[in-house]
Copies of this chain bind each other. A is one copy, B any other.
């Protein structure tokens, strides 16, 4: 892997660049980004070696597409047209059905691997990039059988070098499950932030009274709307379904409170405490 192209030099793309450079110090990392400032920052921070554009992709061994999921749909076919037969391209988007559908008829489909590394923070841009971000994180790979075997191998070797666990899923199942464990969390957090900001005109009071519990629940409300809007758009049906269920559960909880049925309120919480063991990975 001599020539690595990272399209989108933000948190996700930038973190890949840092780790890949550490693993293969002799490779050259090329950065492509709409945002010229981000490219300059990425060079200053040592995330990329050179600025590039789509025209130079013919020399790429690896291309990582780490841009918002709507932009990825547009860019991926163009990238596939430019690369050589030996290059592997993977994306990192939080929705997998649309991109897999889009790329299905492409003559270079077998050069693409649909991936979703479950990693990140609420921050964005090159400054948010972190070395070791992917260590011990899960990488969900969709439609692996559609990627050329030799190129699968190349990508999987990279993920393994970076310390990632691999899970294979079909794109439909991915989008459905991820709506629950990721997309819904973001909306619940954003709406929590909104509810509190609306109420608390005197912001000093929020800050002083807010404990670490509020901070952790609302952390995701710092996330980038430019990244999340197209995710919600592409995963609309699943996200609406999770929202419906979440709203119903909240309504039920509220009704129990209104009825003064605090034994049931207790049981609602007791049952959900079980999340502790789930998060610890103990069944």
Contact = CB atoms under 8 A, between A and B. Distances in A.
Interface of A: 118-122, 137-138, 140, 165, 167, 177-178, 180-182, 184-200, 203-223, 225-226, 228-230, 232-233, 236, 239-240, 242-247, 249-251, 253-254, 257-258, 260, 262, 265-276, 278-279, 281, 283
A279 B208 CA distance: 9
Contacts of A239: 257
Nearest to A123: B276
A242 B206 CA distance: 14
Give 6 nearest A-B pairs by CB, closest first.
A225-B269, A185-B217, A193-B275, A118-B211, A193-B272, A229-B266
Nearest to A276: B222
Given A181-B206, A187-B250, A222-B279, 19 more contacts: A120-B212, A121-B212, A137-B211, A180-B206, A181-B196, A182-B209, A182-B213, A182-B214, A197-B278, A207-B278, A210-B279, A217-B217, A226-B266, A229-B265, A230-B262, A232-B257, A236-B257, A240-B258, A247-B251
A190 B275 CA distance: 9
Number of copies: 2
A225 B266 contact: yes
A140 B242 contact: no
19 contacts: A119-B211, A120-B212, A137-B211, A177-B200, A182-B214, A185-B217, A190-B272, A192-B246, A195-B242, A195-B245, A195-B249, A199-B242, A216-B217, A218-B275, A225-B266, A236-B260, A244-B254, A247-B247, A250-B250
A180 B208 contact: no
A228 B267 CA distance: 11
Helix, strand, loop or mixed for chain A's interface?
helix
Contacts of A190: 253, 268-269, 272
Contacts of A209: 118, 138, 140, 167, 177-178, 181-182
Contacts of A198: 245, 249
A126 B233 CA distance: 47
Contacts of A260: 233, 236
B118 A271 contact: no
A31 to B, nearest CB: 25
